[in-house]
Structures are given as C-alpha cells and as structure tokens.
Structure 1
Amino acid sequence: MTKTWSRFAAVSLTGIALTVGLAACSGGKEAASTGNSGDQAAEGTRIAEKERTVKVVFPENANQPVKSNSPIQQEILKRTNVKLDFETVPNSNYNDKKKTLIATNNLPDIIQVDKTDLNDFGSTGVFLPLMDYMDKGLMPNFKKLWDANPDMVKLTVDGELYGFPAVARNELKNGFGPVIREDLLKKHQLQAPKNFDELLTVLAKLKELYPDSKPWTVRNGTPQLLSTTAYMLGSGVNGTKGNGMYFDKDVDGGKYVYGPATPAFKNVLSYFNKAYSMGVLDPDYAITTQQQWTEKLTSGKSFFFMDNSGFSLNYTRDLRKTQSDGKFQVLPIPEYAPGKARANYYATVFSGKTFAISARSKNPEQLVKLLDWMYSEEASNLMNFGIEGVHYTKDEKGQPKYKEDYVAKFKTATPTPYYALYSDLGCCQLSFTPYYTNTMSQTQIEKMTGNWDAINDEYWGIVAKDPAYNEPVMDPPLTKEEAARVKELNVTINTMLDQEYDKFIMGVKKIDEYDAVIQKARTMGAGELEKIYSNALARMKK
C-alpha cells in the first residue's frame, strides 16, 4: 500500500487536538469550517470572498422534483457567498450520465457518486483526494463525524478519501421487507405466512380468488428483485448493480461470498421460478417500471411486494381512495429454512452515496471548506429544515421542528406532503444534503398533517421488534490494485450472469443447469473476488 493505516491514527489524534482547540476558541459553540468562532458562523460563513458559482450534479427522484434557486440555496448563498447551480438527471438515467462524465473527465465541481465509483476511479486522478485537507485541519466538522464513526475508514481507497459521504442524522431503522394486503388476508381468512413456502401458498390463493391479478409485483426489473429478496432467501447480492459480492454472517462465522456463484443462489432462482410458474410472480417483473409498479399496487391489481417496506404507508393511503378498507402492512421476515430468517436494515449512518469534488475544479480548498461546513449543526439544520423562524423553530431539547403553519401548506400535496415540502424547500436525503435527515423530518410532517395514524405505529413496531433484521456490513477499503482488479472481474462476470438469471426464473433453462453457470462464474474469477475482499477485511482488522 502507498499509505499505511497508521496515518489514520495520526489523523485521529490531530483531529482530537483540533476539536479541543476549536471548542476553546468558540466558548463551546460549533465552529465554522473557516476556523471562525461559533458567533462568527452565526453571522455568516463566508467561504468565498467574491460570489462563486459551484455546479453540482446529482440524481433527481420523481417523487421530489428539484426546484431551481430554492430557499435553502438562497440562504446558502447569503451565508457562504457560494451559489449552488444544480444540474439534475432522472434517477433512471443517472448511472449512464455519471459514467460518461467520469470516463471523459468532464466533471462538474461536485458530483454524487458511490463507493464503486470511488474504487473504480479514485486512482485515476479525477476526484480530489481529501486526506491532506483533513490533516491540515480544514475539515473540522466532518472530522468530528470521522472520529465518531470508525467504519468511515472503509470509505477510503488505498488509504485515501475521495469524497464526502452522505451521513444520516437521527435515523429510524427499516429496510427491504415483505409487504402484503393485510385486509385481504382477513377478508379471506388467510393466515399471515411465517415462511417463504407459506408465502407462495397465500399468494396462490389470492391469485385463485382474483384471477386477473398479478399478486407479487416488482419494480425496475431483475436486479431489484435479486437485491431485495436474495438475502432473505439464504444467499445474496450487493445492491442493484449486479455486484454479486456481499458479506454473509451465516457462512463460516461471517465471510465475503460471491452470491450468484454458490449453490445457495441456485435455491433463490428455484424459488423465483416456482413463483413465476405458479402465476404468483408478475410475468412482467423484468420490465415493470416504478410508476407501473405503484399503479398495480394502489389500484388493487397486485397484493404483495418485497422492497422498501416504508412504501406500505403511502400505498395504503392511495389505495383507500378507492378501497376504503385497503391496507398494506409489513410482515415479520419469513423463514427461508426452519428456524432461519434474516434481513438487513438500511444503513442508518451512511446512505451509500458520496459527494466527490472534481480534481480539476478551481480553488478546491473553497469547495472542501464548503462541504465541511455542511456537516455543521448550523448547516444541517438549514439544509433539512430551512431557515429558523421561517420554516422551523427549536424544541426544548434544541432540536429543529418544522413550523406548523409552513407544513400546513402541503397537507393535501402529492405525491405526499413530506415529498412536496422537501421539493419546495430543497432539502433532505434526496437533495444535495451531505448531513441529512429522512425519518426524523418525515415523521414530523406526517404527524403535523394528520397522516400519522395507528398503521404507522404498527409498522414501525413490527420492524423494531423483528429479530431477523441485522445491521448492514460496509465493505472494507481496497488498495488501488485491488480496486482495479475488482472492477475488471465484476464487468466480466456480471455481463455473463445478467444474461442468465431470467432464463432460470422464467423456466427457459432447468434449474439444475445453473450448476454450470456457478462453475463458469468461479472460473471467470468469483473465487478471486472473494479472496480480495477477505484479505482486505483481514488487513483492516489488523
């Protein structure tokens, strides 16, 4: 390695001394990233002496359209002298756009990327390396979070940090989970399934009762089907990009496994094939868009999904516009084998997205200071709740709370009051917000608009009490050489596998023929990938 892990210890000690020094200078108040005291920060954090425009590229979610020059953007300009120029790309097209910008080294000042991008391209020089700025004390706000979260070292590549990770604030735990029409179970006296075989039996009965239905529907195709469900079925993949490598706590006491190249994954495909053959799995699962998925669920054409279980709350409200007793509710995770049930929470600290600075940007130190300021309490409150006194006040514990008269404007807004408010304000997780809130802000808005009811309490209670959920494991940091090899192997293996999955799910190939696919994947380097990640994990533990 070109840098050793001892550097992180040195950085940590430097950060402790710096934090103490800043606290002393500010009288206990949070310091601005420029080194000013807390009082000066309250008056404005002038990152740039002259007004500067900074271009930022990130994906736009259809539920939360990005408005130009939002109140938060205007206030950031007022406080920092930096004008944020957003260029957004629809979620469905973002990966292609991002890859083009990176490959051509035509990056904006700041771009949203993920850890795979950092592994693949960090060593190419397109992203600004940040460790030296942290060593010099120019990232005090971020440094507090770095010291408080040892897992952050896993975001590095060969000892270098190439981006500012999006960090969650006061996040409740939920994740992918099975959601079913509970009202139909009660109406037809069907028991809630406790294992995956019972699930198919229940869905088959609903199909019999409603012949024109498509009981189990899926959004965004096969990658989403695999990423949401394979782990619960005893194998797994990592995310929706077709990366088969994941950490399995149940294999040899916990190790990295290339899921699709194991016999356990054969069982996953066999289960999907059974669901497809029974008419339970939507025959259009491979091509259904998110909009079509939503329409099927809220119109009564589909009764079950395995995805972000929080969608159940919104979909129940939409369903009740036409079916007054309709109710979606999350189930406890079904057993995939006797006595075995498992699922992962969403990451409650790191969302997986990162904001990288282009190495070609002018005056990069200003951009480092700008992003670091965004991790301060002052900036986080602004970028999630708006302007104090206008959009929010503080409660008795000093925590921000939206003003009810502001929230009331969105009581009947679509697609939901909270998405409409987020879009108007330009805030929270789906915007350019490095230190973001999600469930904290959503819960406040739902309660203020009267959309929080017994179903919400029941939902969060079911998830919180389910022992099947585990904290996700963040991948270990790789060296430049390892990252390059991982990229090479993933492209080759994933290209082959992506052409195979649907053949087995749809029954074009017999499931026993998947043994040959497993062997081919291992010949192409699946075992080598497992070894790379295992070695990286062992090295990090040392």
Structure 2
Amino acid sequence: MTRKGFRKALLLMLLCALLVTGCGGGGGKDDGTLSPDNPVTFSWLVYDRVEGKVRDDWEIFKEIEAKTGVKVEFQVVSQEGLEEKRQIMIATNTATDFIQVPTQDGREHGPEKVFLNLQDYLDKAPNLKAFYEKYPEAKALATGTDGGLYTVPVLEGDAEGKGFNFIWYARKDILDQHGIKPPTTVDEFYQFLKTLKEKYPDSYPLISNSIVGDTGLFTTFGRIFTGIHGFYSLDPTTDQYAFAPYHDNYKAMLEFLNKLYTEKLLDPEFSLLTQAQWEERILTGKSLVTYFWKADLESLVAKARDAGIPEYDLDAIPSFAADGIKNYQFSRPVVGTVGRAISAKVKDKERAVQFLDYLVSEEGTNYLSLGIEGKTYTMEDGKPVYNKDFGASPFNTLRKDWGVWYDLITLNNALSREAWERGLSEKSKDINARYAEYIIPAPKQIVKTEEELELEKSKLNNLNKFLEQKVTEFVTGKTPINDETYQQFIDQAKKLGADELLAMYNTAYTRTYGGK
C-alpha cells in the first residue's frame, strides 16, 4: 500500500470510529432498539410529593437502566409550580423528553408538533399497540384532530367499576362512648351533628378540606341533594350531563348548608381551610365528621394515637342522599384525565418510543406500580400484595424510598391500588364491603372538538369562580337565600355561559359514546 493510500485508509478508520462514538451517546442514531450496551439519557418532568422527594437513586430505575440502557434525568419542580412549568413548556415547545400532560393538551398540541405522534411508531411498539386496542377509551382520549396518538393515558380503576376512593369519616370512639347511631338520611345527619355539638360545644362537628373537587363541600352536598357530582356532571339516572344549580333541590342544599353554618355545626372557615388545618382539626377533635379519601383513615388514627390520644378512632358512616335522589358514588374511572407524552423534539425518537413501550409492558408496569418482587411486594395466590411492613398506608414508603406509585411516574395506578387493597386490614375491607352498594361506574371522559375546547376555555373558569363565590355567600349568609336572590344567581350563571356549556357537554358526550 502506498503512503497516500495508507493515509486515506487511516482517515476512513478514524471517521468510522467517530461515527461509532457519536452513536453511543444519548442523542445518537441506532437501530431504534433499547440495549444496556447502548446507553441513552432522557429527561422527565416530575414534582416532589409530600410523602418524599424525587430521588435519582431509586432502585427501580437502577434496574430499569440495567435492562434497557435508559438513564432518566428527572427535572423536578414543586407541586405548586408544576402546572405553570408545564404550560410554559407547551407554549414554548421546550418540553422534557417525557412529560405528563392532560390528554386534552395532548390532543390539542400534538398536531402542532409539540408532542411525538406515537401512531408513526406502533410497528415497533407492540405493548403500546396492545394498550390502545385493549382500552378504546384511552385511544379516543389520545387521538388528535389529525388522527395521531399523542399520549398514553394513565389507568386509574378496574374495568368492573368497583374501586372507589371516598367515604364519610366519624369519630367512632365518641359515637361508641355516647351511644350515638350513625345517620342514614339527611335529617338524621343534621340531628347527628346537633348531638355531637351538644356533647362537644367547642367543636364544629362537620369539616371539609375544600369547597370543590371530589371531596369538596359543595360537590359532596350537591350530589346528596341533586344527584349531580360537581357543578357539571353526568346524571346517572338520565345518562345526560346536567348543571346542578338547575336542579329543584339545589336551593334546598344551600339552605341546609346555611343552617349548618348558622348553628355552628360546620367549620366557619370551611372556604379558607388548608389541608394542614383540616388535618389538625380532625386529629385534635375540633371537628368530628368529614368526607375524605378512605386510604387516609387508618393513617390518621395512627397519627392521633402517636400524638397521645390512645382512644382516638375513626370509622365510616353510611352514605346518604336526600329523598328521591340516587344514593351513589362514582367509582374510579378506568382511564384517567392525564397521559404520558414524548416531546416531538426528543433527539432519539425511536428509542424514546421503545422506552415508553417498555414502561407499558408487564415488566415496566410492575416496576413503576409495584416495585421489586421480594422487596416491595410478594405474590399471594398469584396476585401482588405490598410488603406488610409498610403498614396500612404503604404508598408513603413506596413513594419515598422506592419511587413506586409516584405521580407523574407510574402509568397504572389501578394495579397499585389492587395490590394495596389486597393487603388491607379487616377494618378497611369491612368499610369497602359496606360502601359497595353505593358504587356505580364512573362516566367516561368526553372528547371535545377545537371549537368546544375554545368554548370551555372562554366560559368555564369565570363561571366556576362565580359559582364558588356565590355559593359561599349563600352558605355564610352574606347573600340571603330566597326566590329572588336564587333567580338572580341562575340568571348570572346563564349570562356566564351555563347553557352553552351544558349543551356542549351533552353534544360531545353523545358524539363520543352515543350517549351511553
């Protein structure tokens, strides 16, 4: 070989070496498959939960990296700053490689090239393909106007619609001490609170941790008096969306809550309470009855006893409803309102989809939802059950020490809840059995058109603010409750778009599911 030929050959070898080196990094190109021998790094937006902060040394992610070659770099924000950060990322098209967003945002911004179209990669993502086939509702929620798939919606509940989240709590030790019977009707509930107030005059027996949301005071009593969960929701008796204030009983609900407020049976600061204040008042006996997450009952009992109240005990009291109103609670929805998306700007698109496909696989799902067999869970009768050493609220340890069942990380909360409920105490299992008769399947989410989304954006926020403010004024007596003031309330709600929104929800629901 001539010297010139040798130099050419050496140059070619060096160029090949540089190309190979470039392919080994996080942004290089390869055949699109995951491999521990070909590492890649992806960024992922998360927030710190109260149970424990996000860590970069969780064992499940070490095992995932050992099997896939994927290293995850969490970009951590506060829970309070999450929504703003997410919206800025969407608006500026600077999302992290992996990000959890409302499925609505996925449908809206995916076609704008903010999120990767997963439809283009399903031939290399068998688990994703199977997921969309198994959950057509999830596919509908993930599908943009261009037909692309932009999110993997998070699973929340079992397909049978039996799992549920909320119960009425009351101080069992106090009920037992005074022989007070749990209420089963609205009138009995009022007398129940009156009796507690007589026994404990310094207390405000009823407390709520919020005014809206699933455990909110207005949501809970709206359902009790009208059968509508929230201001807008599907009426299970008609299979149509309804606006709760239009119901004949909504004014009666306001009068009932105003009576509780006036007679000091309801915490006077109900509209201002923080979560910490709610918990402090429940634990110290300043309040004795609440509607909240069933998962927290036993941990609250343990906190009170650890704080020096050995007799403290909580138990569920029956669900109740006004005369003629269906007594129910919606189950957890099978498919949630948020989903995992991949940034359209991710450098290694194929391996990003492959990684998401792995996380949806049985092995990936088990890591994120259950953890590591033998360490965080065991198999009993072929079913996973969390380590009993983690106590009645295993999610605290799972999230803090393992990154398992962690919001914005797991994709299957339903699997986590099933494993948790298999290990429940006999008391919690008994509560589940007592509430089973009230649980009905949650309504499926509706898919809105761009025009419907614009209508909702332009009307709903202002309407909700008005409703929250005005209902609070009615309950506290700032605005008297009579036919004239109630009609003014309804008229203003109409001016703010109540009718337009109601028509839109029913149109979208019928279009998406045929009204079923």
How far off is 1:193 after superposition?
A: 0.7
Distance across 2 between alignment mates of 1:237 and 1:443: 25
SS at match of 1:282: coil
Tell me, yes or no, if the aligned pair for 1:168 and 1:438 is still in contact at 8 Å. no
Question: Does residue 331 of structure 2 align to residue 345 of structure 1?
Answer: yes
Match of 2:235 in 1: 248
Query: Structure 2: where are the runs of 5+ without partners?
Result: 1-29
Cα distance in structure 2, aligned partners of 1:99 and 1:258: 29
Deviation at 1:97, TM superposition (A): 3.4
Root mean square deviation, CA, Å: 3.0
Structure 1 portions without partners, runs of 5+ = 1-33, 37-44, 239-243
Q: In structure 1, what is the equivalent of residue 190 of structure 2?
A: 200
Query: What is the aligned counterpart of 1:517 among 452, 475, 489?
Result: 489
Compared with structure 1, are the counterparts of its residues 339 and 500 closer, same or farther at alpha carbon in structure 2 (3 Å cutoff)? closer
Structure 1 CA distance, aligned partners of 2:264 and 2:108?
A: 41
Counterpart AA for 1:247: L
How has the CA–CA distance of structure 1 residues 459 and 420 changed in structure 2, closer, same or farther, with 3 Å as cutoff? Answer: same
Which residue of structure 1 aligns with residue 316 of structure 2? Answer: 330
Give the whole-Å Cα distance in 2 for the aligned partners of 1:510 and 1:340: 28
2:419 corresponding residue in structure 1: 441
Instruction: Give the deviation of 1:170 after TM superposition.
Output: 6.0
Cα deviation, 1:380-430, whole Å, max 9, x if unaligned, reads 122233334555554553x4455x6xx64x56xxx9454123321111153
Residue matched to 1:22: none
Following the alignment from structure 1 to structure 2, what is the Cα–Cα distance between the partners of residues 283 and 270?
16
Q: Does 1:88 align with 2:76?
A: yes
1:123-134 alignment runs, 5 A limit: 124-134=112-122
Query: 1:232 aligns to what SS in structure 2?
Result: helix
What does residue range 214-225 of structure 1 map to in structure 2 within 5 Å? 214-223=204-213, 224-225=216-217
* Aligned twin of 1:28: none
Q: Which residue of 2 aligns with 1:457?
A: 429
| Residue 200 to residue 419, structure 1, CA distance change in 2 (3 Å) | same
Paired AA for residue 338 in structure 2: K
2:95 to 107, 125, 128: 107
1 CA distance for matches of 2:211 and 2:97?
33
Contact kept, 8 Å, 1:141 with 1:372, in 2: the verdict is yes
Deviation of 1:262 (Å): 4.8
The superposition leaves residues 134-154 of structure 1 with CA deviations (integer Å, 9 ceiling, x where unpaired) of 4xx233213323222332244
TM-score by length of 2: 0.82
What residue is the counterpart of 1:540 in the other structure?
A: 512
The CA distance in 1 between the partners of 2:35 and 2:503, in whole Å, is 45
What secondary structure does 2:286 align onto?
A: coil
> How many residue pairs align between the two structures?
475
Letter in 2 for 1:384: S
Change over 3 Å in CA distance of 1:510–1:106 after alignment to 2:
farther
Partner of 2:274: 289
Report the CA distance between 1:228 and its aligned residue: 4.2
Quick check: 1:162 aligned with 2:143? no
Q: Secondary structure at the match of 1:441?
A: helix
* TM-aligned CA deviation for residue 48 of structure 1: 8.3
SS at match of 1:233: helix
Match of 2:474 among 504, 527, 539: 504
Q: Separation in 2 of the partners of 1:140 and 1:92?
A: 36
Q: For the residues of structure 2 that align with 1:533 and 1:489, how far apart are their CA atoms? A: 13
Cα displacement string for residues 340-386 of structure 1 (whole angstroms, at most 9, x for unaligned residues): 41221222x22433222223332333322212211111111222333
- Cα distance, 1:392–1:482 mapped onto 2, change above 3 Å: same
Partner of 2:342: 357
Q: Please, which moves more after superposition, 375-384 or 225-234?
A: 225-234
Q: Percent identical across equivalent pairs?
A: 27
What residue is the counterpart of 1:140 in the other structure? 126
The offset of 1:289, in angstroms, is 1.5
Structure 2 letter corresponding to 1:515 = Q
Say whether the 8 Å CA contact 1:66–1:431 is kept in structure 2: no
CA spacing shift, 1:394–1:335, aligned 2, 3 Å: closer
In the alignment, the residues of structure 1 paired with residue 221 and residue 348 of structure 2 have an alpha-carbon distance, to the nearest angstrom, of: 45
Distance change >3 Å, CA 264–CA 358, structure 1 → 2: farther
* 1:177 corresponds to: 167
SS of match in other structure, 1:112: strand
What is the alpha-carbon distance in structure 2 between the residues aligned to residue 304 and residue 108 of structure 1? 43
Mapped pair 1:66 → 2:43: no
Query: 2:501 aligned with 1:529, yes or no?
Result: yes
Q: Is the 8 A contact 1:226 1:236 kept in 2?
A: no
In structure 2, distance between residues paired with 1:272 and 1:160: 47
The structure having more radius of gyration, on CA atoms, is: 2
Shift in CA distance, 263/366, structure 1 to aligned 2, threshold 3 Å? farther
Distance 2:31 2:126 in 1: 8
Correspondence for 2:460 = 490
Contact 1:258 1:529 in 2 (8 A): no
Q: Given the alignment, which residue of 381, 386, 396 partners 2:366?
A: 381
What's 1:12 paired with?
none
Q: Secondary structure at the match of 1:202?
A: helix
Structure 2: distance between partners of 1:270 and 1:213: 21
